[in-house]
Amino acid sequence: MAQLLDSGLEELFEEFTKEYFSRSVEAEENRQREHDAATRIQSWFRACKVRAYVSHLHKKAIIIQKIWRGFTARAHFRQTVKAAYFIMKMNFYNDVAVRIQRTWRGFFVRKYIHNFYARKKYLEQVCWKNEHIRRELDELEELQKRERNCLEMMKEQTAKVYKAHRLHHLMSTKQCPGVFNSPFRPAPHEMELLLRQVKYEAPTRLVPRYRDCHVGMPDSAAPSFPGNLGSPWIKTTRTCFSCKPMLPPIVNKKQQDLFREPGEVWQQFVNYPELMLRLQTSYKHLEEAQNQQ
């Protein structure tokens, strides 16, 4: 009986030993995996705790910031409202003060400083002075206008006299009536009368061929004809024109025709005056002929 028990215990002990060894081997095999799993669970849990705590702190910080910002904004708004109200009151007081000062100053000036009748008299004197000055300016303008017209008339008369000197060869004669004394006119032309009054004088200087000069207008290079017609409007002197070079000497002798040079014609008239005697006729020959007719 004892032997049976001992053999049974030995079998159980061997089985227990084998099972303990197998479980120890299995536990050793699963130890690292269980450690990694436990470490992962712990890290996840701790992370959840930290995230929850950080989220809690973030929410509380937002609440604190919101309350503080609202407080500061309300304080700033109250300060802004106070400043605007103060400025509005100051503007109102300034406007009221200006209105009071304006009313008082106007009343004081009208009552104690300015006299209505004295100011009225002053304005009347100013108006009279303006009218007097305006009248004097009108008279001065009229005088200047008359002077300008007088100068223009003098220029026109001088130009006519100069033209008459230039066109003296067109004066009427017994043989040739002239271009300004047509027999069909009831009275002689104005230029014809002026040609009769002007005395012919030889030009000392002639206009160069390359210069263009308007007919009837005095030019600096035109010949000067001294003398007058007895009128204060007609005055021509040699000092009115500048000096120009003399005419070139006459070299060749040509027969007289319609296109000879004025210098040659003048030299022939001086040297042979008998050739020009046929032109010395009466100025009134045409009028006498008309009267006879």
For 19-71, what is the HEC assignment? HHHHHHHHHHHHHHHHHHHHHHHHHHHHHHHHHHHHHHHHHHHHHHHHHHHHH
d(CA 278, CA 236): 30
Q: What is the C-alpha separation between 119 and 217, in angstroms, rounded?
A: 61
| Three-class SS state of 102 | helix
pLDDT at 100 over 70: yes
The contacts of residue 217 (CB under 8 Å, 6+ apart) are: 159, 162
pLDDT in tens, 20-79: 888 888 888 888 888 889 999 999 999 999 999 999 999 999 999 999 999 999 999 999
Specify the pLDDT at position 56: 95
Residue 262 CA, distance from chain mean position: 55
CA distance 191 to 163: 9
The tokens 């001086």 sit on which residue? 270
Query: pLDDT tier at 141 (50, 70, 90 boundaries)?
Result: very high
Q: Is 227 left (phi over 0), alpha (psi -120 to 50) or beta?
A: left
Q: How confident is the model at residue 252 (pLDDT cuts 50, 70, 90)?
A: low
Residue 182, helix vs strand vs coil:
coil
44/13: higher pLDDT: 44
Q: Is the pLDDT of residue 99 over 80?
A: yes
What torsion, rounded to 10 degrees, do the Cα atoms 30, 35, 37, 43 define? 180
Q: Using 50, 70 and 90 to split pLDDT, how confident is the model at 102? A: very high
Between CA 163 and CA 156 the distance in angstroms is: 10
Q: What is the mean pLDDT of the chain?
A: 76
Q: pLDDT tens-digit profile of 262-288?
A: 667 677 666 665 555 445 555 566 677
Helix (H) or strand (E) holding 213: none
What pLDDT score was predicted for residue 245? 52
| pLDDT classification of 214: cutoffs 50, 70, 90 | very low
The pTM for the full model equals: 0.31
15: left (phi over 0), alpha (psi -120 to 50) or beta: alpha
| Residue in 198, 192, 128 with CA at minimum distance from that of residue 162 | 198
Whether 259 shows a pLDDT value over 70: the answer reads: no
Beta bridge mates, 236: 227
Helices (H), the chain: 2-108, 116-166, 190-197, 262-271, 285-292
